[in-house]
Amino acid sequence: MIERLRQILLKEFIHLFRDKQARFSLIVPPLLQMLIFGYAASYEVNRVSTAVLDFDHSQESRDFLERISASSRFQVREVLQNESQIPSLLDHRRVVLVLQIQPGFAELLRKGQTAPIQAVLDGTDSNTALIAVEYINQIAARFAQDYQLQLADRTRPTLATFAPNIELQERPWYNANLESRWFFVPGVIGTLVLVSVLQLTSFAVVREREIGTLEQLMVTPISPTELIVGKTLPFLIVGLANVVFVGILGSYWFEVPFRGNILVLLLGTTLFLSSALGVGLLISTVSQTQQQAFAISFFYITPAIMLSGFGYPIGSMPTTLQYLTNLDPLRFFLVVLRGTFIKGVGLSVLWPQMIAMAILGAATLTIATLRFHKTLD
Amino acid sequence: MTASNGYSVEVEKLVKRFGDFTAVDRISFQTRSGEVFGFLGPNGSGKSTTIRILCGLLHPTSGRAIVAGYDVVESPELIRRNIGYMSQKFSLYADLTVFENLRFYAGMYGVPAAELRGRIDWALEMAGLRGRESSLTGTLAGGWKQRLALGCAVLHRPPILFLDEPTSGVDPLSRRLFWELIQQMSSEGVTIFVTTHYMDEAEYCNRLALMNGGKLIALGTPTELKLGSIQGSLLLLECDRLGDAIERVRRLDNVRDVAVFGNALHLVVSDAAIAPTIRAALESYGILVTGLRVIRPSLEDAFVALTTRHGADDASELSP
């Protein structure tokens, strides 16, 4: 029993590490993907290409547009003379935003009335457009406030000191500078390890089916449990090593803090990987070729990432979908990853996620074991 | 290890269906211990399916099969300890060395530590791979791979060995060497169950089962099959214009069957005495007959005769 397990583990590790190409594909792609994701995945909107069209040519309109161009959020690329230039600029994505100030802007302000500014946006990328509008709003509010104060100062200096105001003092916990990279890097670790372990597991079984050694193994006295443990344990170890290596890269290269306990993270990873291994085995029971296994694992991975809260908040999904996310082990693993990296919380906070992953892992591994017969039909 | 009645494999009315397709159709036979039992038949005749049922890889649809005294449905795990199996693909791990493959399969079969070294040495010797223990298996030529696969399959000294087309894709010299190993194991009391479609290999078997369309159509020693298959006599006809000759000979009375063998024809006739009539008939059409004599039927003749007769039986069964 132990000898059989020892031999099958030994064999799997030879498969994993003997071939130069296999060694390479085990180490380099996850690190490379971490680097690419770490730089590319971000919600921050900076240097929005902007065009301005000022019909007012007043002190006030110039002052406003100056504030826009002084902000690092916007980059004024074009100064326009008439409206007919706008469509072509947006069509060609030369700019994402056009700010237009109508004649009479300053006059309205001086009369103490509301003065409009028009923002024309490329709504194709709705997220960027929304955030850009938010930034313009902030600049406009600030401008209006300063203008009111100046006006009061000049006309009724005594009253100016009494101008009531509210100031928001932002204190974001855990991520004081609201770096979106801190949100993404732990998420990337979760998705990377899911993809690599799922495919390694399903391919390892299907490859043996293709070359015929699975049939040969089935006529030996090996028990299904021995075979399954032998076929999954190596990839559990690979997955844990992946999390450690990619995690080190994330915290040293991208300076994402790791504030929690590494043992809590490794426990969470083990529970999460039991589901990934179970799904990988299930895929191998329904695939005859590695191409099939690849296609089926793709069908699992895409929704698993979509529903995990990796990029889209689960709270904003329709209720039915929110229920469905409870079947996605990645959803719970991301909470554990972000909890241990950014928040530094431990089991006293993360236990519900741990239990959920344990249940999902036990369920998938049981189904996979039941489906994994030692027969060909 | 073997059942008390002296049979190592007993099959009774075995049926295997895949959907509407009947791959194995009510076959029954027994093999004795130490026998080399050949399974002969065209591709898709049900040979491999039968072997897979006997190894516990496929569940029979109905019928019974006893291997080494155990029922294939009830105790497949006990059967697996008593059999060796080698599939058509010589299933070895190409990225493992020769030694690592042997060590792995020894581990799977639970070869005791005390015997391990000796069994692996024996397998290396048998496969002619001594000194190449650390070569990657993927770099070996076909004949060596085949003998290594055989070595892996018998490391645990099984009393019954199943070989599914073990010589496909192997050069003639290696095939001969392989059959010498088979004969040697058989003389040591191992029952060998082998499928093939090489007629010369079939001659090495103690008994042959002929399969066609899932049915067992003949069973016996090679000699029994050769003699029993042909009713009448077999004539070898050497002549020119083979195509014309076939047409002419078919139309003659007393000629039951005509088949091309190389650059000659084999004729099955009801009586060898009609040979002069045949020669005269062909010469009257201007065909030059260079030889016409009675021969002993080969296994191939038997095979052709039995499969065509079986096909005709099927047709008559279907007609109202």
CATH of the domain at A68: 3.40.1710.10
- Total domains in chain A come to 2
Q: What is the pLDDT of residue A160?
A: 58
The pLDDT tens digits of the residues spanning A83-125 come to 899 999 999 999 999 999 999 999 998 888 888 999 999 999 8
Q: Which residues of chain B have a CB within 8 Å of the CB of A19?
A: 95
More confident residue, A374 or A283: A283
The tens digit of pLDDT for each residue in B144-161 reads: 888 899 999 999 999 999
Instruction: Tell me the C-alpha distance between B74 and B222, whole Å.
Output: 34
CB pairs under 8 A between A and B: 74
- What percentage of chain A has pLDDT greater than the value 90? 54
Whether residue A167 is contained in a domain is answered as no
Does residue B197 lie within any of the structural domains? yes
**Residue A254, C-beta contacts closer than 8 angstroms, at least 6 positions apart:** A38, A181, A185
B56 and chain A in contact, CB less than 8 A? yes
Residue at which a domain ends, from A129, A160, A191: A160
Contact B57 A212 (CB under 8 A): no
- Which chain B positions have a beta carbon within 8 Å of A219's beta carbon? 55-57, 80, 83, 85
Closest CA in chain A for residue B54? A219
- Both B161 and B275 in one domain: the answer is no
Residue with tokens 């919600």: A43
**Both A107 and A148 in a single domain?**
yes
ipTM of the complex, rounded to two decimals: 0.80
Note down the domain range covering B176: 7-221
Instruction: State residue B315's pLDDT score.
Output: 37
Do A63 and A31 lie in one domain? The reply is no
Average pLDDT over residues B70-95: 89
Tokens 């490859």 locate to A207
* Residue B1 in domain: no
To which residue do tokens 């497949």 refer? Answer: B76
The answer on B85 and B113 residing in a single domain is: yes
Residues B92 and B141 in one domain: yes
In a domain, A216, yes or no: yes
Residues B178 and B55 in one domain: yes
Residue A346 domain-assigned (yes or no): yes
CA distance B315 to B210: 19
**Is the pLDDT score of A242 beyond 70?**
yes
User: Which tokens belong to B54?
Assistant: 């006997």
Asked whether residue A191 falls in the same domain as residue A89, the answer is: no
Is the domain of B71 the same as that of B199? Answer: yes
Out of A20-24, A353-357, B83-87, least confident range: A20-24
Distance CA A304, CA A302 (A): 5
Residues from chain A contacting residue B116 (CB–CB below 8 Å): none
Cβ contact, residue pair A219, B57, below 8 Å: yes
Give the CA dihedral A69, A74, A79, A81, nearest 10 degrees. Answer: -110
Tokens read off for A80: 């326009």
Place A369 in a pLDDT band, splitting at 50, 70 and 90.
confident
For residue A292, is it within any domain?
yes
Which of B18, B80, B91 has the highest number of chain A CBs within 10 A, making it the mutation to test binding with A?
Answer: B91
Could you tell me if B106 and B49 lie in one domain? Answer: yes
Q: Spell out which residues of chain A touch residue B145, defining contact as CB-CB under 8 Å.
A: none
Cβ contacts of B104 on chain A, cutoff 8 Å = 7-8, 10-11
Q: Among the three residues A115, A133, A160, which one is the final residue of a domain in this structure?
A: A160
| Domain-terminating residue out of B180, B200, B221 | B221
CATH number at residue B158: 3.40.50.300
When pLDDT is cut at 50, 70 and 90, the band that residue A22 belongs to is confident
Are B135 and B69 found together in one domain?
A: yes
What is the pLDDT, as a whole number, of residue B256? 84
On whether residue B302 sits in a domain, the answer given is: no
Residue A270: pLDDT band by 50, 70, 90 thresholds? Answer: very high
The whole-angstrom distance between B170's CA and the closest CA on chain A is: 18
What residues form DSSP beta bridges with A48? A74
pLDDT in tens, B180-227: 999 999 999 999 999 988 888 888 899 999 998 899 988 999 888 887
Tell whether the model's pLDDT for residue B316 goes beyond 70.
Answer: no
- Beta-bridge mates of residue B27: B14
Distance CA B152, CA B312 (A): 43
Q: Are residues A32 and A128 in the same domain?
A: no
| pLDDT band of A272, cuts 50, 70, 90 | very high
Residues A146 and A206 in one domain: no
Q: Are A87 and A40 in contact (CB under 8 A)?
A: no
- What is the tally of structural domains in chain B? 2
Check CB contact of B181 with chain A, cutoff 8 Å: no
| pLDDT at site A37 | 82
Q: Per the CB < 8 Å rule, is A211 touching B100?
A: no
Residue B317 belongs to some domain of the structure: no
Contacts of A13 in chain B (CB under 8 A): none
Q: Are the Cβ atoms of B104 and A10 closer than 8 angstroms? A: yes
Asked if residue B120 and residue B263 are part of one domain, the reply reads no
pLDDT above 90 (res B26)? yes
Domain membership of residue B304 (yes or no) is no
Contacts of B56 in chain A (CB under 8 A): 219, 374-375
Domain housing A97: 48-160
Residues B81 and B112 in one domain: yes
Q: Which residue of B has its CA nearest to A22?
A: B95
Q: Do B100 and A11 touch (CB under 8 A)?
A: yes
Q: What's the average model confidence in pLDDT over B87-93?
A: 84
3-state secondary structure of A43: coil
Q: How confident is the model at residue A127 (pLDDT cuts 50, 70, 90)?
A: confident
Q: What is the pLDDT of residue A110?
A: 87
Tokens describing residue B2: 């073997």
B111 and B199 in a single domain? The answer is yes
Least confident interval from A179-188, A299-308, A368-377, B52-61 = A368-377
How many Å apart are CA A355 and CA B251, to the nearest integer?
84
**% of chain A exceeding 70 in pLDDT:** 97
Q: Is residue B306 part of a domain?
A: no
- A343 shares a domain with A239: yes
pLDDT at A163: 67
Please give the mean pLDDT across all residues of chain A. 89
Q: Between chains, do B56 and A375 touch, taking CB under 8 Å as contact?
A: yes
Reported as a single tens digit per residue, the pLDDT across A297-308 is: 999 999 999 999
pLDDT of B94-105, one tens digit each?
999 999 999 999
Query: Is residue A170 in some structural domain?
Result: no
Do both B149 and B285 map to the same domain? Answer: no
Does a structural domain hold residue B191?
Answer: yes
DSSP three-state, residue A260: coil
With CA atoms as reference, the chain B residue closest to A373 would be B57
* A168 falls within a domain: no
Percentage, residues of chain B above pLDDT 70: 95
Question: What pLDDT, on the 0 to 100 scale, is given for residue A184?
Answer: 87
CA dihedral A24, A26, A32, A36 (to 10 degrees): 150
Find chain A residues with C-beta within 8 A of B107's C-beta.
3-4, 6-8
State pLDDT tens for residues A170-199. Answer: 888 888 777 888 888 999 999 999 999 998
Choose the final residue of a domain: B163, B192, B221: B221
Chain B residues 103-142 with a CB less than 8 Å from chain A:
103-105, 107-110
**Do A32 and A127 sit in the same domain of this protein?**
no
